[in-house]
Chain A
Amino acid sequence: MDFRFTEEQEGLRQEVRGFLEEEIRRGTFEPKCDVWMTGHSLELTRKIAERGWIGMICPKEYGGQGRSWVDRLIVTEEMLRYGAPTALHWFGDRQVGRCLLAYGDEEQKREFLPKIIKGEAFFALGMSEPEAGSDLASLKTRAIEDGDDYIIDGQKVWTTGQLRNYIYLLARTDPEAVKHRGISEFIIDLSTPGVTMHPIMTIAGEEEFNEVFFDNVRVSKKCLIGEKNRGWYQIASQLDYERTGIERLMGNYPLFEALIQFVREAKRNGKPLSEDIIVRDKLAQLRIEFEVGRLFAYWTTMMLDEGRVPNWEAAMSKAYSTTFQKRLASVAMEIMGLYGQLMTESRLSPIRGLASHSYLASRSYSLQGGTTEIMKNIIAQRGLGLPKG
């Protein structure tokens, strides 16, 4: 047992911090919450790619560095800590690259991995549909074989997002097969004729989610990833990767820092807020809960480096961590009192409206990427062996 980082890892962390602090000084970005979903900056993505911090785990033969998942965790942890806009490359880095390594053929790996690593390939995730949310396997979007092509028809929803050039797609390639036995994975160029994307406005005032319509879209069979009709089994571990990330814990970390700073400086009735027992208690509880989430992220990531895929562990980490984020936003609004309701645009907000914005955005944390309810089913059934109902 050893919780120490190597010298190299400590160095990597300091390097990333130094880089981000410099970019903030230069005005490239301002720290925000949810940057891995809503923070798009081509400039920053390119700079991060130049430093080799995208697709770090990819083998060197494809332009990656063959580094560990813990190394990647360190980089992403700092990106989130500083609220850096990294949405463009996040999904490619987190899961699509790894999906290609596991199931892509050589041509596909050589096509996409270098682009992911260079910060040129940006992926939307086309999974959920209007009638297929938690019951993802009931999806209806079809991909029917036609010569050397597939013809895709259907609709996706809650697809992140705009400004992407590719969509990772789950579609039904065998409508006769039982539910999860007829699904396949594709990577489709979003500029393919017949694909249209329309943003959805969320209560947080963001448009990271979209409806995507596929109307008679013809794509080459080369877009199929892995085996036809085996998509469901292929995506199983991709979802585990999706749930392992520390973004589930630190998406609204800039709010945590801003809140702590606010408490350090503010006074109420002439007395420092930092000496108020109730406020100290609330912040201490958040700190304790955060630490558990941080350890969960490292635990599940260490499993990845051991060559094991965390399944119920990732579900546990995601469910727990998103609960933390929601509670952070809620407690922040409590502590800020009347000021908590001021939005980003208000000049009176002591913390740039981060609390109210994150409160609204956080309603979705326990839904996206697998609802907390589904996560608990996984923990119970896969982790504890409890029988299905």
Chain B
Amino acid sequence: MDCNLSEEQEMLKTMARDFLSEKSPKTLVAEMEEDEKGYPPQLWREMAELGWMGLVLPEEYGGSDMSFLDLSVLLEEMGRACLPGPFLPTVVLGGLPILDIGSEEQKQEYLPKIASGEAIFTLALTESSAKYAAASIAVKATADDGAFIIDGIKLFVPDAHIADYLLCVARTGGQEKAEDGITIFVVDAKSPGISSAVLKTIAKDKLCEVVFNGVRVPEENILGQLHNGWSGVQKIVERAAVAKCCEMLGGLRQVLEMTVDYAKERVQFDRPIGSFQIIQHHCADMATDVEGLWATTYQAAWRMSEGLPCTEEAAIAKAWAGSASERVITLAHQIHGAIGFTMDHDLHFYTMRGKAAAVSFGDAAFCQEIVAQEMRLSSADHGP
């Protein structure tokens, strides 16, 4: 048993941290919040050159064949830097699903474009009910002569306004059981009938409302099997949840460091406020939450990386991430006092992103219900 990163992972971590602190400073993050696209194409190109988009894609598609655990290390640093842009959607919501479920033609068509940074992907899943349940999928895909016509509205789709492709989860059947009759389509964003509008969100993270109005998608663009998409969707959400935990961990580590540094420097009553016991205990509580997030996140990420079942571990990590984030951010604001409440100070970047992350890919209720089911509390939980 070993809970340490490998030497290569430590190197990746250090390199990513140095690169991002130089190339994605908070001035850029602030700029991108107001920017129409929300990411700087130059930085995107440099990331592609570093091999980041293709990190976990096979070499034959232009990737580096590294593991999900390696990607987790990278995601953690991206979270620490509040890196703006469609990295997680492209790689985790687009690339990995295509790698898992796609046909050989689809892999050859899309994966090299992802690895090179040429194409931006996203996943259009959630709708007005704002739940990650099969019963919430109402966007319809109706068969029509070698194609499907997609109609309906998706909400909270990350970076849809700049995506080249959207993986759209639509209902093709399932009158009796909601989980049957769900199909994933790879939709070219240039298809007529798609319109995306960026929503005004707390994290200014370019989540979109996407309207599908008679969007025609060829049959060949079905990812996986017709009607049998739901289990693939669950896997995508599970993996995205773990990826989100990695980002949150990086962010909260930075918040803890900022807070401790502040407590050491800020002098009131002729002493650093970090010498007062209540401040020390607040910081100790924050550190405990962060280490708990580290442990649960990397347990889930390691299992995912090894191809082991990790539904319970992923739900535990994501549930902890949401509640830990709330406690850590709240204490960070208390310790920083008024200065942390200003836009000039960096804390707000983490406050806003933390809240958005807490509800993405599984909020507390969703994750806790999964954990309860895994505990086999009721006979209804004893399913396959």
Which A residues are closer than 8 A to B by beta carbons? Answer: 1-5, 70, 260, 263-264, 272, 274-275, 280-281, 283-285, 287-288, 291-292, 295-296, 298-299, 302, 313, 316, 319-320, 373, 375-377, 379-381, 383-389
Which residues on A sit within 8 Å (CB–CB) of B6?
Answer: 1
Question: A1–B2 contact, CB under 8 A?
Answer: yes
Alpha-carbon distance between A70 and B302 when the two chains are bound, in angstroms: 19
Question: A280–B296 contact, CB under 8 A?
Answer: no
- Least CB distance from B198 to A in Å reads 34
- Least CB distance from A315 to B in Å reads 8
Which residues on A sit within 8 Å (CB–CB) of B377?
Answer: 260, 263-264, 274, 280, 283
Question: B378–A274 contact, CB under 8 A?
Answer: yes
Question: Interface size for chain B: under 10, 10 to 19, 20 to 34, or 35 or more residues?
Answer: 35 or more
Which residues on B sit within 8 Å (CB–CB) of A275?
Answer: 378, 380
Question: B3–A1 contact, CB under 8 A?
Answer: yes
Interface presence of B184 (CB below 8 A) = no
Alpha-carbon distance between A280 and B5 when the two chains are bound, in angstroms: 35
Contact of A1 (CB < 8 Å), options: B5, B263, B275: B5
Contact of A287 (CB < 8 Å), options: B281, B288, B291, B316: B316
Q: Which residue of A lies closest to B305 (CB)?
A: A1
Which B residues are closer than 8 A to A by beta carbons? Answer: 1-6, 9, 69, 260, 263-264, 271-272, 274-277, 279-281, 283-285, 287-288, 291-292, 295-296, 298-299, 302-303, 313, 316, 319-320, 365, 368-369, 371-372, 375-381
A sample of 22 inter-chain contacts (CB < 8 A) reads A1-B9, A3-B3, A260-B377, A264-B378, A280-B372, A281-B365, A283-B375, A285-B319, A288-B316, A288-B320, A296-B295, A299-B291, A376-B284, A377-B281, A380-B274, A380-B280, A380-B284, A383-B287, A386-B260, A386-B283, A387-B264, A387-B274
Which residues on A sit within 8 Å (CB–CB) of B295?
Answer: 292, 295-296, 299
- Least CB distance from A364 to B in Å reads 20
Which residues on A sit within 8 Å (CB–CB) of B379?
Answer: 272, 274
Question: B284–A387 contact, CB under 8 A?
Answer: no
In the complex where A5-B1, A283-B375 touch, is A389 in contact with B281 (Cβ < 8 A)?
A: no
Q: Which residue of B lies closest to A68 (CB)?
A: B1
Question: A2–B260 contact, CB under 8 A?
Answer: no
Q: Which residue of B lies closest to A5 (CB)?
A: B1
Alpha-carbon distance between A275 and B260 when the two chains are bound, in angstroms: 44
Question: A316–B287 contact, CB under 8 A?
Answer: yes
Which of A295, A319, A385 has the largest count of B CB atoms less than 10 A from its CB?
A: A295
Which residues on A sit within 8 Å (CB–CB) of B280?
Answer: 376-377, 380-381, 386
Which residues on B sit within 8 Å (CB–CB) of A5?
Answer: 1
Question: A376–B281 contact, CB under 8 A?
Answer: yes
Question: B378–A1 contact, CB under 8 A?
Answer: no
In the complex where A284-B371, A389-B277 touch, is A379 in contact with B2 (Cβ < 8 A)?
A: no
In the complex where A1-B298, A2-B1, A302-B2 touch, is A281 in contact with B375 (Cβ < 8 A)?
A: no
Question: B283–A292 contact, CB under 8 A?
Answer: no
Question: B281–A302 contact, CB under 8 A?
Answer: no
Which residues on B sit within 8 Å (CB–CB) of A288?
Answer: 316, 319-320, 368, 371
Which of B1, B9, B276, B320 has the largest count of A CB atoms less than 10 A from its CB?
A: B1
Q: Which residue of B lies closest to A291 (CB)?
A: B316
Which residues on B sit within 8 Å (CB–CB) of A291?
Answer: 296, 313, 316
Which residues on A sit within 8 Å (CB–CB) of B316?
Answer: 287-288, 291
Alpha-carbon distance between A379 and B285 when the two chains are bound, in angstroms: 9
- Least CB distance from B269 to A in Å reads 11
Question: B372–A281 contact, CB under 8 A?
Answer: yes
Alpha-carbon distance between A361 and B2 when the two chains are bound, in angstroms: 34
Which residues on A sit within 8 Å (CB–CB) of B5?
Answer: 1
Contact of B274 (CB < 8 Å), options: A274, A320, A386: A386
Which residues on B sit within 8 Å (CB–CB) of A287?
Answer: 316, 371-372, 375
Which of A264, A288, A298, A383 has the largest count of B CB atoms less than 10 A from its CB?
A: A288
Alpha-carbon distance between A292 and B290 when the two chains are bound, in angstroms: 11
Contact of A377 (CB < 8 Å), options: B3, B277, B380: B277
Which residues on A sit within 8 Å (CB–CB) of B369?
Answer: 280, 284
Which residues on B sit within 8 Å (CB–CB) of A272?
Answer: 378-379
Question: A302–B3 contact, CB under 8 A?
Answer: yes
Alpha-carbon distance between A285 and B279 when the two chains are bound, in angstroms: 27
Question: B274–A285 contact, CB under 8 A?
Answer: no
Alpha-carbon distance between A264 and B372 when the two chains are bound, in angstroms: 11
- Least CB distance from A327 to B in Å reads 13
Contact of A296 (CB < 8 Å), options: B264, B291, B303: B291
- Least CB distance from A172 to B in Å reads 28
Alpha-carbon distance between A316 and B1 when the two chains are bound, in angstroms: 21
Question: A389–B288 contact, CB under 8 A?
Answer: no
Which residues on B sit within 8 Å (CB–CB) of A319?
Answer: 284, 288
- Least CB distance from B333 to A in Å reads 18
Which residues on A sit within 8 Å (CB–CB) of B365?
Answer: 281
Alpha-carbon distance between A320 and B319 when the two chains are bound, in angstroms: 17
In the complex where A283-B375, A295-B299, A379-B288 touch, is A386 in contact with B368 (Cβ < 8 A)?
A: no
Which residues on B sit within 8 Å (CB–CB) of A296?
Answer: 291-292, 295
Alpha-carbon distance between A260 and B1 when the two chains are bound, in angstroms: 29
Which residues on A sit within 8 Å (CB–CB) of B319?
Answer: 284-285, 288
Which residues on A sit within 8 Å (CB–CB) of B313?
Answer: 291
Q: Which residue of A lies closest to B365 (CB)?
A: A281
Alpha-carbon distance between A228 and B275 when the two chains are bound, in angstroms: 33
A-B pairs, 9 with minimum CB distance: A380-B280, A274-B378, A295-B295, A376-B284, A379-B284, A284-B368, A284-B371, A280-B372, A292-B292
Question: A385–B1 contact, CB under 8 A?
Answer: no
Question: A316–B288 contact, CB under 8 A?
Answer: yes
Which residues on A sit within 8 Å (CB–CB) of B381?
Answer: 274
Alpha-carbon distance between A302 and B2 when the two chains are bound, in angstroms: 7
Q: Which residue of B lies closest to A70 (CB)?
A: B1
Alpha-carbon distance between A291 and B293 when the two chains are bound, in angstroms: 11
In the complex where A1-B298, A280-B377, A284-B368 touch, is A389 in contact with B1 (Cβ < 8 A)?
A: no
Which residues on A sit within 8 Å (CB–CB) of B272?
Answer: 387
Alpha-carbon distance between A285 and B9 when the two chains are bound, in angstroms: 32
Alpha-carbon distance between A320 and B320 when the two chains are bound, in angstroms: 14
Question: A260–B4 contact, CB under 8 A?
Answer: no
- Least CB distance from B88 to A in Å reads 21
Contact of A320 (CB < 8 Å), options: B9, B283, B288, B378: B288
Which residues on A sit within 8 Å (CB–CB) of B285?
Answer: 376
- Least CB distance from B69 to A in Å reads 6
In the complex where A1-B302, A3-B302, A292-B296 touch, is A284 in contact with B288 (Cβ < 8 A)?
A: no
Which of B9, B284, B303 has the largest count of A CB atoms less than 10 A from its CB?
A: B284
- Least CB distance from A389 to B in Å reads 5
Which residues on A sit within 8 Å (CB–CB) of B260?
Answer: 384-386
Which residues on A sit within 8 Å (CB–CB) of B284?
Answer: 316, 319, 375-377, 379-380, 383-384
